[in-house]
Amino acid sequence: MTILVTGGAGFIGSNFVLDWLAQSDEPVVNLDKLTYAGNLQNLSSLDGDARHIFVRGDIGDSALLTDLLSRHQPRAILNFAAESHVDRSIHGPEDFIQTNILGTFHLLESVRAYWGALPADAKAAFRFLHVSTDEVYGSLSKTDPAFTENNKYEPNSPYSASKAASDHLVRAYHHTYGLPVLTTNCSNNYGPYHFPEKLIPLMIVNAQVGKPLPVYGDGQQIRDWLYVKDHCSAIRRVLEAGQLGETYNVGGWNEKPNLDIVHTVCALLDELKPRADGKPYKEQITYVTDRPGHDRRYAIDARKLEQQLGWKPAETFETGIRKTVQWYLDHPQWVADVLSGGYRDWVEKHYGGNDKSAT
């Protein structure tokens, strides 16, 4: 038995691959295009591990997908591959359309053909799990109830619109063709291997080198924060027992304003790695102009996942954020390689310019 993971060198995907192989001997075929946010150093602990088969490639490459599916015969596909940074989608939406919409379409077409040709027992057992975001639901006011799976889609950025489109495609392939799909919509993830363009790692990294800690607008944008390893455990549970065609919201039950997050990170750094001058890190907080169309609040109601599949997050925000800050302090070389672009040198050394390499 084998699973195929797309986007498995990114933040959430690499955490999933690491957690999967820590708990199972079932091999993982890991397909990742290795754009700027794909980092094989996240998976360096798997070097030489025959259970991890890495392939550098694009989910939009139909010929490559057909070959991989034929050769490895996976029982399940987990689609993490996506462009995911809202700011980048505002300044350059085309990459998001290409990967999140067209890429998902080509992946679904390849998977449909593969699944359709499977023997009856393998066909019945097969699963396609699509990993998405709470941002497809739009924005909430302070008094609105949290997003449930029945909320209508109201995406407000090119990123969330492209993810909404991919969700709709996955749903359509289930209802039109019978493809056995599952979809998860998660809240804001945080934890190890998070690319430092996102809020929490950016604060940790900037604080240590004396740079400003930029906070959009008034810093009162509220998000529900989910420790990435809890997200991985939820995905495993949905893959194992989720009802076909259903969507499951995955959240951490941790609604907090961005400014509170920044203050928490600063306080932990004051404790774990104090500034040389003895001053608090919060002095580096700088308010910057809010980004266009910035959603005010996201909140996930994860009761369906809890009640139907028995999943709950293991971490509170307090335990998860402490582990996260400590991880970044313990991995200065990983941070340095990301900031310098050195992680890309590793890829070029091992793979050169070849987009279809495997180890």
pLDDT above 60 (res 205)? yes
Among 228, 302, 325, 291, CA closest to 85: 291
More confident residue, 91 or 236: 236
pLDDT, residue 87, reads 77
Round the average pLDDT of the chain to a whole number and report it. Answer: 94
Structure tokens at 145: 């109830």
- How far is 112 from 78, CA to CA, in rounded Å? 14
For residue 73, how far is the Cα from the chain centroid? 25
Long-range contacts (CB closer than 8 Å, 24 or more residues apart) made by 288-291: 288/214, 288/215, 288/216, 289/216, 289/217, 290/216, 290/217, 291/86, 291/87, 291/90, 291/216
pLDDT above 80 (res 353)? no
List of residues 6+ apart from 112 with CB closer than 8 A? 173, 177, 179
pLDDT digits (tens, 9 = 90+) for 46-60: 999 999 999 999 999
* DSSP per-residue letters across 158-203: HHHHHHHHHHHHHHHHHHHH---EEEEEE-EEESTT--TTSHHHHH
Strand partners, 184: 131, 248
The percent of residues above 90 in pLDDT, for the chain, comes to 87
pLDDT above 70 (res 351)? no
pLDDT digits (tens, 9 = 90+) for 257-295: 999 999 999 999 999 999 999 999 999 999 999 888 888
List of residues 6+ apart from 74 with CB closer than 8 A? 2, 3, 4, 29
| Orientation of helix 158-177 relative to helix 104-116, angle to 10° | 20
Q: How would you classify the pairing of strands 222-227 and 255-257?
A: antiparallel
List of residues 6+ apart from 336 with CB closer than 8 A? 342
Q: Work out the pLDDT band at 348, boundaries 50, 70, 90.
A: low
pLDDT above 60 (res 255)? yes
Which of 57-66, 87-96, 136-145, 328-337 is least confident? 87-96
Among 327, 211, 220, 323, CA closest to 263: 220
pLDDT, residue 352, reads 54
Homologous superfamily (CATH) of 3-190+226-253+296-316+343-351 is NAD(P)-binding Rossmann-like Domain (3.40.50.720)
pLDDT, residue 347, reads 57
pLDDT, residue 358, reads 40
pLDDT, residue 354, reads 41
32 to 127, 301, 324: CA distances (angstroms): 20, 31, 24
Catalytic positions, written as ranges: 134-135, 159
Among 44, 1, 166, 145, CA closest to 100: 166
Mean pLDDT of 186-195: 96
pLDDT digits (tens, 9 = 90+) for 99-119: 999 999 999 999 999 999 999
Which of 87-96, 135-144, 264-273 is least confident? 87-96
pLDDT, residue 339, reads 86
pLDDT above 50 (res 356)? no
pLDDT, residue 357, reads 39
- How far is 118 from 123, CA to CA, in rounded Å? 5
